[in-house]
């Protein structure tokens, strides 16, 4: 009988063999190895790992190594096809069961499962809740159960899915099958909810750093949002069009922004829940398969998006929470290449989000939680220190200043805003006490700046003691003061029209007993390109290519695009950019040399090896030899 140590060593060798033979990788990254070995040995696991950190391999490899089929609970039916397609390209036996299939297709997959012919089976949580589904699963053998996007179990979270709550009893139905809960987005509170609601109290917890070092974070004040967006996108496309995602809050904004980008010559498509399902599927498919396409979307788009070469994520409206912002920006740069998370936000965003919370109909506890989420988001926007430090601190992680965000690259100037804050609050107090009136920011700014408007004349606000005492600041500066005071909780908004009112902190400001530090807004004249940004790279990205290797890299990209079109698959399923980069640098001349290139497993070597060698040889023949001195 083999000893436990021998068995563990065998499992470790088997996991490494799959990593190398199937996926073409030669080393595990981060915590991948201990996670995989723990699950292969039959242990339960909770895995918190950032997008692009190699989370999928943590359940895919145990599913291949252990006998039986790995069950993957995935929240988005629309993405299962692409996930399975990518696995099949690696030579992994994978399938899904969902409502898009015909009865014959489902019957074929069900039979494959019963016969033990699948390594991985993807299902949505809603299907797993259907009567008879668990009985069907007992007709085969499960190797591992992986609950992906497990933060969806959190009732306080931004992506709550009720059917995730029913996944906690899987241990009862399938005793002895190791279970995994995986996510890229979890605060300490969400982490606890995942553990409790999924009945994973005895699981081992693996928490990787949430830092995405290759992403450059930048937040700017919203001035002319569409023009700012076009300028930003063009700055990212100096070497040709790049893929990106633009997030907006409403369907109307999505449609209007996509149309505007198209008018400016930028290839863009809209995506939101109000579009016909066939249109949504087509737009998502095009985004995944085409290079240089921009998708403009509500948050209905994105969870689980596997496209590795998204070069930017832009927000033109303020996200509701840091969790949502982190998850959405995490869709950029999954390949480790320099990428940008860009956002514009203004006073209107703050007022709108507060109004949504007030009108949401939730009880006091829900509103307090939503306000705390928004407060954290505003703190990230208004910070004068490193944005990455602020972002990671929200998830309980500390780090030094990153050097790869706008506040590190150009530290904002801070000024003493006590006097302007007192002027504004005094105006609010006088209107309330003397006239029983309340107004939004625009009218209060007009009063402070001594404007001559019909509304001021109508209400005789020229008679107020504070009329005209703020004409030392222009309109944009005053709006910045209002926005930052709201973000710091120095005053509040109420009602449908964003009426400004006092908070519990206002009295200290009026009394001069607290400091009011405000940052000078800086509107970028021209947004930095990815090349100009400090943009740290992950270890997988390596150093920039030299000119000769860059030319070969582009030739290989052209070949990859043609191959992907011919096979009707996304380009990254053929090869990722990191593989093309390695090919361009090392220029292999034989199939044996190709085996050493990252990302080329046995199936891809067989499918593309000869073609790749031919492309490299053709390129080298076309390049003139250097002249003799």
Q: What is the CATH number of the domain that holds 225?
A: 3.40.50.300
Angle of CA points 110, 197, 181, to nearest 5°: 55
Query: Is the same domain home to 219 and 355?
Result: yes
Domain membership flag for residue 450: yes
Query: Is the same domain home to 255 and 124?
Result: no
**pLDDT score for 218:** 95
Domain membership flag for residue 537: no
Checking 78-84 for CB contacts under 8 A at 24+ apart, the result is 78/280, 78/281, 78/284, 79/303, 79/304, 79/305, 79/306, 80/122, 80/124, 82/288, 82/306, 82/570, 83/122, 83/304, 83/306, 84/120, 84/122
Which residues, in sequence order, are CB contacts of 146 under 8 Å at separation 6+?
Answer: 59, 63, 70, 71, 72, 73, 179, 180, 182
Which residues, in sequence order, are CB contacts of 328 under 8 Å at separation 6+?
Answer: 245, 247, 299, 302, 313, 315, 319
- As for how many domains the chain has, the answer is 4
Query: Is the same domain home to 104 and 171?
Result: yes
Domain membership flag for residue 103: yes
Q: What is the CATH number of the domain that holds 593?
A: 1.10.150.80
Query: Is the same domain home to 124 and 59?
Result: yes
Boundary (domain end) residue, out of 409, 424, 452: 409
Residues lower than pLDDT 70 in the chain = 1-8, 78, 155-159, 302-304, 522-543, 624-629
State how far Cα 584 lies from the chain centre: 29
**pLDDT score for 526:** 45
Query: Is the same domain home to 239 and 323?
Result: yes
Q: Judge whether 337 and 309 are in contact, CB under 8 Å.
A: yes
What is residue 467's three-state secondary structure?
Answer: coil
Domain membership flag for residue 629: no
**pLDDT score for 626:** 54
Query: Is the same domain home to 185 and 233?
Result: no
Query: Is the same domain home to 360 and 472?
Result: no
Domain membership flag for residue 163: yes
**pLDDT score for 539:** 44
Per DSSP bridges, beta strands 517-519 and 414-416 are antiparallel
Domain that residue 159 falls in: 4-207
Query: Is the same domain home to 270 and 362?
Result: yes
List pLDDT tens digits, range 579-601: 999 999 999 999 999 998 999 99
Query: Is the same domain home to 136 and 170?
Result: yes
Query: Is the same domain home to 235 and 352?
Result: yes
Domain membership flag for residue 145: yes
Torsion of CA 432, 435, 436, 439, to 10 degrees: -70
Query: Is the same domain home to 129 and 182?
Result: yes
Angle of CA points 141, 147, 153, to nearest 5°: 140
Domain membership flag for residue 266: yes
Boundary (domain end) residue, out of 409, 433, 463: 409
List pLDDT tens digits, range 207-237: 988 898 899 999 999 999 999 999 999 999 8
**pLDDT score for 157:** 58
Query: Could you tell me the two tokens for 407?
Result: 């506040």
Query: Is the same domain home to 103 and 172?
Result: yes
Beta partners for residue 217, in sequence order:
341, 405
Domain membership flag for residue 536: no
**pLDDT score for 625:** 55
């Amino acid at each position: 009988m083999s000893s436990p140590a021998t068995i563990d060593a065998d499992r470790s060798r088997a996991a490494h063999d799959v990593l190398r033979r199937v996926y073409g990788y030669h080393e595990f990254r981060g915590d991948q190895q201990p996670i995989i070995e723990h699950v292969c040995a039959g242990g339960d696991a909770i895995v918190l790992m950032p997008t692009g950190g190699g989370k999928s391999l943590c359940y895919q490899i145990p599913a291949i190594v252990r006998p039986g089929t790995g069950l993957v609970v995935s929240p988005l039916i629309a993405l299962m096809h692409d996930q399975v397609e990518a696995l099949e390209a690696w030579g992994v036996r994978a399938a899904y069961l969902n409502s898009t299939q015909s009865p014959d297709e489902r019957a074929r997959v069900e039979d494959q499962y019963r016969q033990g012919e699948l390594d991985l089976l993807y299902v949505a949580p809603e299907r797993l809740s259907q009567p008879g589904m668990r009985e069907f699963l007992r007709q085969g053998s499960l190797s591992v159960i992986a609950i992906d996007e497990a933060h969806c179990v959190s009732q306080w979270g931004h992506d709550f899915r009720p059917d995730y709550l029913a996944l906690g009893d899987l241990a009862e139905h399938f005793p002895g099958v190791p279970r995994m809960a995986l996510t890229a987005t979890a605060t300490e509170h969400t982490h606890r909810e995942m553990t409790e609601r999924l009945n994973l109290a005895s699981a081992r917890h693996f928490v990787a750093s949430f830092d995405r070092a290759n992403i450059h974070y930048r937040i700017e004040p919203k001035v002319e949002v569409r023009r700012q967006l076009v300028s930003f996108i063009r700055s990212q496309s100096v070497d040709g069009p790049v893929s990106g995602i633009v997030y907006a809050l409403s369907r109307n904004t999505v449609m209007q922004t996509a149309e505007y980008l198209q008018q400016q010559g930028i290839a863009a498509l809209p995506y939101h829940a109000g579009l016909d399902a066939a249109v949504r599927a087509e737009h998502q498919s095009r985004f995944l398969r085409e290079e240089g396409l921009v998708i403009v979307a509500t948050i209905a788009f994105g969870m689980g998006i596997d496209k590795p070469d998204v070069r930017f994520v832009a927000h033109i409206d303020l996200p509701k929470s840091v969790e949502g912002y982190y998850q959405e920006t995490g869709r950029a740069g999954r390949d480790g290449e320099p990428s940008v998370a860009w956002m514009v936000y203004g006073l209107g965003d703050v007022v709108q989000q507060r109004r949504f919370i007030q009108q949401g109909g939730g009880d006091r506890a829900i509103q307090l939680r939503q306000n705390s989420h928004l407060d954290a988001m505003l703190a990230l926007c208004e910070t004068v220190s490193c944005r990455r430090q602020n972002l990671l601190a929200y998830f309980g992680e500390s780090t030094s200043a990153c050097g790869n965000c706008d506040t590190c690259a150009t530290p904002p100037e801070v000024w003493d805003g006590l006097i302007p804050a007192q002027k504004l609050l005094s105006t609010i107090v006088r209107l309330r006490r003397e006239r029983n009136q309340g107004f939004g920011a625009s009218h209060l700014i007009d009063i402070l700046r001594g404007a001559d408007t019909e509304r001021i004349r109508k209400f005789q606000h020229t008679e107020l003691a504070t009329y005209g005492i703020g004409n030392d600041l222009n309109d944009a500066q005053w709006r910045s003061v209002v926005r930052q005071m709201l973000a710091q909780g120095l005053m509040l908004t109420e009602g449908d029209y964003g009426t400004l009112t006092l908070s519990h902190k206002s009295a200290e400001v009026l009394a001069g007993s607290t400091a009011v530090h405000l940052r000078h807004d800086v509107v970028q004249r021209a947004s930095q390109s990815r090349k100009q940004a400090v943009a740290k790279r992950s270890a997988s990205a390596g150093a920039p290519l030299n000119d000769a290797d860059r030319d070969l890299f582009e030739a290989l990209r052209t070949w990859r695009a043609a191959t992907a079109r011919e096979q009707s698959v996304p380009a990254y399923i053929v090869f990722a950019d990191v593989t093309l980069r390695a090919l361009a640098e090392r220029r292999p001349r034989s199939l044996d040399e190709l085996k050493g290139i990252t990302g080329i497993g046995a199936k891809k070597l067989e499918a593309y090896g000869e073609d790749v060698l031919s492309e490299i040889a053709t390129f080298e023949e076309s390049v003139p030899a250097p002249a003799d001195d």
